[in-house]
Structure 1
Amino acid sequence: MKICMFVKNSFEYDARVTKEALSLIDAGHDVLVVAIHVPKVTAEHETRSDGIEVRRVSRVSFGVGALNRVASRYAGSIEERNARLTGDDIDEDRIRAMAQVLPESTATPGANQANPPSAKPAVTGETKTTTKLWGRVSTPILRFVARAARFTVRSLKFLLGRQGRALKTYAINKRMIKIGLEADADVFHSHDLNTLYVGATCKKRTPGARLVYDSHELHTERNRMGYWWRRWAEWNEKKWLPSADAMIVASPSWIREIEKKTGWVPPNSVSIVNTPPLRDHTPQDLRGELDIPAGQAILLYQGSIQENRGIEPAIDAVAMLDGCVLVVVGYGYHRTTLETSVKARGLEEKVKFFGPIPNDELLDWTAAADIGLCNIINSSLSYYTSLPNKLFEYIMAGIAVIGSDSPEIGRVVAAEAVGVACDPANPNALADATRTILKDLERYKAASRDARARHHWGIEAKKLIDLYNGLPAS
């Protein structure tokens, strides 16, 4: 079969979509992935070394990246000038704060790698009084101009609001549909709710085509979701789900939850958990890379750095613990906020940031830790019922786990005896769980190594192939 997948990210680091595409290719199918193009970062059309063909469409970012780059250069030049005129140290925190006019999307991480420019050090030697005075007077004015510009841009974005988002979504959907129709696929595979309309439209306009809906989250109950956005998601899922011939979810609980919301799910619906491939790993020298002394236990968080992922209570917990260091690996809009907070609290030796790391190297770094953190906060039904890939990455790497006491995460942690499930938002509970595990660390690590055989992509890939084999005839 010819399969056309739709995903609204840049398809640089999406391990789940990659694994599904490769499994289908191994089963003899042709796979095209339609994703988002990031200028100067991704190719518009490529066939990757792993055999996946990728076509990307313009994201219509309205110049967010360019605005941030201009703001970044301007912020650096202001603080460099101030240091040169007054002899003061350069305020790197102020540069970071001023350097982002608008937040960039975590859907296209390659576009977000540029950091604020490193300002040049202050000129040494005695600074004239008049020069210093000019610096003291003029710098606040320049900073005010930067703040005023940022306020103006953010106000315009707020006033455009849903209209701006709707225009961008319309343009992306139109381009994806065009490529999908050109593909003349046998099956369209929509990854997440934001591409379900695209897949449904392509199916309707391609005789004999089938549609698979692949829900990576519980989209009507997501984290930080406002009232109107939730209503819009509910309408979309209820409207377009009947077009699907099969449905995939990333957590067993979600089939029941989606049926409650929509009143129907395809009979061919299955949970395919985002587990890693079964493979050996070679632990990397994480201690040496981050100057962590021998004898210090390493607690690890890896994944998208966002609010309600349990990172803040983990920082509070490690501050209470002797002989422990927290390493946070990944990217996301919340990383800068956390780094600033850690620095302000003087916890740089207790909390260290690293990465992001390419997917094919990640487990080797994971294996260098002692305990993996999967304490997702119960801030939404999607989070509460989730089964994050990091849980299974920790197991595959053979390290102990501290997980949320939620229905799915808590079930796996308890059933496999790989660690301790606790209140994910309570720093004291996290600290107690850490102490419990460290008293018998090798036992928990051995349980993880044993559980690898029951939680790997080979098992999930078979479910995927069975689902495709069960699609109705064209």
Structure 2
Amino acid sequence: MRQPAAAGHEVHLIVADGLGDEIKHDVRLHDVGAKSGGRLSRMTGTVKRVYDKALALMPDVAHFHDPELIPAALRLQQAGIRIVYDVHEDVPRQVLAKHWIPGVARPWVSRGVETLEDYAARRFDAIVAATPVIRERFARAGARHAVDVCNYPILAELVRDTPWSSRRNEVCYLGGISRTRGIEPIIAALPDSDTRLNLAGIWSEPDLKAALQREAGWSRVNDLGVLDRAGVAEVLAQSKVGLVTLLPTPSYVESLPIKLFEYMAAGMPVIASDFPLWRGIVEDAGCGLLVDPQDPQAIADAIATLLADDARAQAMGEAGKRAVLAKYSWAAEADKLLALYRGWPHEALHAHDAALYCPAAVAAVLPGAMAVVWRTAHHRRHGWPRRAGAGLYAVALAQWHLVCPAGGQRLRRLAARGARRPDALPDGLRPVRPRHDAGLPGGGHAVGGQRRHPQQRTPAHPRHAVGAAGHRAGLL
């Protein structure tokens, strides 16, 4: 968000961290209150607060990332706001690995998410994809405008002239921590390596940390918690090897993880998963070793190889830094984003865009998926499958009542029919009657007023608002 602000745009960032409003790097931060109540609350209550704040700001452009904001973004578009969907991951493939979704329901939920994303992509003003593969997927789906803006590092934050001799004999892993991101094989590899692991990031599975703390390898972990950008730079400057051994899930195999390029920018060799896309980057730059991410012994051997040969490790680190400076820096990618804002296409609004909030295809596929989830939960009367099914059902209801009241009622009927027990719904999950929003065209109905023409309000430096419920340090 710094680059649009530095280019003269008025930028507003909507966050949900409970730290209050402030201005940072010329970006106005609007806090809608800390997230509470877990995943269900984030996907319902937080979404509603972000939507209300964005509507109150009435920006020219709303640029958002979180997939749960898609229905809210569709509603904002009806108020005349241009919408940019920033896609960091292949979400439908990522859903297939979500531990909190019952296994039998994952293919159906994945299909529902993909149908929703494809539908929204054909209506949103632009799709900003983190990789060329994701951009191509949305282009095939008929997106109006799709551009890949790779999530490369900001070099000024990370590049330091740290003498190799001052680095410690340690390895590091920075970023989100979960089973699919390969933390279990990393911890299992530590007893067989003469090193310590600098570990920093957010745990997405609370029970996982407690389980790993009982493993022998945990005694070699420096648990650093969540770090700001200065803290990240410090860890990168003192470690000798960076680990990016994500498991081969469909969403990771074609991804471009920023941690890979951050390690390279910091001048350290990497140990990376042996995926075809990553192999091309690592082997082309000569900046590290490739391993089977599910094999702790392979990870331990790679760590031992690099730490035993300082000259080789240092040469790989320098090669990685040269590659980042030449090809993988954020500066060129930021230009793509600014070019999108400067050269916005002024195509006429299609008539059906102002009339539809909820397509028949999505209204059919997602309720079907939720019916399967609820039925699974109903047959397992206790434990997490029931809670997960009930939670997904509640999320679908809340999202669809926001964007399409009629679709929300249809969802309730079909899901209850699939469960064969409509009165089995917990009291807290019973949907309320649709409420009309006097602040929006059509009073919140599926058909409504006209969106103003894009050229009606296009100042030289348009205002922007970003709907994202994340950590302000990471988003800036």
Q: Tell me the TM-score normalised to structure 1 length.
A: 0.64
CA deviation map 1:95-150 (0-9, x unaligned) = xxxxxxxxx45xxxxxxxxxxxxxxxxxxxxxxxxxxxxxxxxxxxxxxxxxxxxx
**Does the CA contact (< 8 Å) of 1:305 and 1:335 recur in 2?**
no
Residue 315 of structure 1, aligned match among 163, 184, 187 = 187
1:331 maps to amino acid: I
Question: Which residue of the partner structure matches residue 317 of structure 2?
Answer: 445
Question: Which residue of the partner structure matches residue 196 of structure 1?
Answer: 70
**Does the CA contact (< 8 Å) of 2:246 and 2:293 recur in 1?**
yes
The Cα shift of 1:214 comes to: 0.4
Question: Which residue of the partner structure matches residue 232 of structure 1?
Answer: 112
| 2:145 is equivalent to residue 267 of structure 1 | yes
Give the number of equivalent residue pairs.
334
Question: Which residue of the partner structure matches residue 253 of structure 1?
Answer: 133
Q: Quote the Cα distance in structure 2 between the aligned partners of 1:176 and 1:345.
A: 40
Alignment of 1:64-463 (within 5 A): 64=37, 104=38, 165=40, 169-206=43-80, 209-222=81-94, 223-224=97-98, 226-259=106-139, 263-279=141-157, 280-281=159-160, 297-321=169-193, 323-334=194-205, 337-338=208-209, 340-342=211-213, 344-379=214-249, 381-438=250-307, 439=309, 440-453=312-325, 454-463=327-336
Alignment of 1:40-79 (within 5 A): 42-43=19-20, 46-58=21-33, 61=36, 64=37
Q: Tell me the TM-score normalised to structure 2 length.
A: 0.64
Q: Quote the Cα distance in structure 1 between the aligned partners of 2:156 and 2:175.
A: 19
The Cα shift of 1:446 comes to: 1.5
| 2:338 is equivalent to residue 465 of structure 1 | yes
Q: Quote the Cα distance in structure 1 between the aligned partners of 2:44 and 2:210.
A: 36
**Does the CA contact (< 8 Å) of 1:37 and 1:59 recur in 2?**
yes
**Does the CA contact (< 8 Å) of 2:85 and 2:124 recur in 1?**
yes
SS at match of 1:367: helix
CA deviation map 1:160-201 (0-9, x unaligned) = xxxxx4x86454444333322222211121213222222222
**Does the CA contact (< 8 Å) of 2:93 and 2:251 recur in 1?**
yes
1:433 maps to amino acid: A
Q: Do the aligned partners of residues 318 and 175 (structure 1) sit closer, same or farther apart at CA in structure 2, a change above 3 Å counting?
A: closer
Q: Quote the Cα distance in structure 2 between the aligned partners of 1:221 and 1:349.
A: 34
**Does the CA contact (< 8 Å) of 2:127 and 2:138 recur in 1?**
no
For the aligned residues, what is the CA RMSD? 2.8
SS at match of 2:148: strand
**Does the CA contact (< 8 Å) of 2:184 and 2:212 recur in 1?**
no
Question: Which residue of the partner structure matches residue 22 of structure 1?
Answer: 2
CA deviation map 1:417-472 (0-9, x unaligned) = 11012211112222232244343212111212212313222122111112222312
CA deviation map 1:321-367 (0-9, x unaligned) = 2x22222122214466345534x344344233223211233112212
Question: Which residue of the partner structure matches residue 457 of structure 2?
Answer: none
Q: Do the aligned partners of residues 236 and 369 (structure 1) sit closer, same or farther apart at CA in structure 2, a change above 3 Å counting?
A: same
2:153 maps to amino acid: T
SS at match of 2:63: strand
1:190 maps to amino acid: F
SS at match of 2:238: coil
SS at match of 1:48: strand
Q: Quote the Cα distance in structure 1 between the aligned partners of 2:155 and 2:79.
A: 36
Q: Quote the Cα distance in structure 1 between the aligned partners of 2:232 and 2:162.
A: 10
Q: Do the aligned partners of residues 237 and 282 (structure 1) sit closer, same or farther apart at CA in structure 2, a change above 3 Å counting?
A: same
The Cα shift of 1:407 comes to: 3.3
Q: Point out which structure has higher relative CO (alpha carbons under 8 A, 6+ apart).
A: 2
The Cα shift of 1:242 comes to: 1.5
> Is there any run of 5+ residues in structure 1 with no aligned partner, and where?
1-20, 65-103, 106-164, 288-293
Q: Quote the Cα distance in structure 2 between the aligned partners of 1:249 and 1:193.
A: 13
Q: Quote the Cα distance in structure 1 between the aligned partners of 2:174 and 2:333.
A: 22
SS at match of 1:299: strand
Q: Quote the Cα distance in structure 2 between the aligned partners of 1:313 and 1:169.
A: 31
Q: Quote the Cα distance in structure 1 between the aligned partners of 2:163 and 2:49.
A: 42
Q: Do the aligned partners of residues 360 and 198 (structure 1) sit closer, same or farther apart at CA in structure 2, a change above 3 Å counting?
A: farther
CA deviation map 1:33-80 (0-9, x unaligned) = 122243xxx11xx2323121122324673xx4xxxxxxxxxxxxxxxx
Q: Quote the Cα distance in structure 1 between the aligned partners of 2:84 and 2:47.
A: 17
The Cα shift of 1:404 comes to: 1.1
> Is there any run of 5+ residues in structure 2 with no aligned partner, and where?
347-453, 455-476
Question: Which residue of the partner structure matches residue 362 of structure 2?
Answer: none
Q: Do the aligned partners of residues 444 and 214 (structure 1) sit closer, same or farther apart at CA in structure 2, a change above 3 Å counting?
A: same
SS at match of 2:114: helix
Q: Quote the Cα distance in structure 2 between the aligned partners of 1:53 and 1:402.
A: 38
SS at match of 1:278: helix
CA deviation map 1:266-305 (0-9, x unaligned) = 33422322423335437699x9xxxxxx9x7311111111
SS at match of 1:366: helix
Q: Do the aligned partners of residues 173 and 461 (structure 1) sit closer, same or farther apart at CA in structure 2, a change above 3 Å counting?
A: same
Identical counterparts, % of pairs: 25
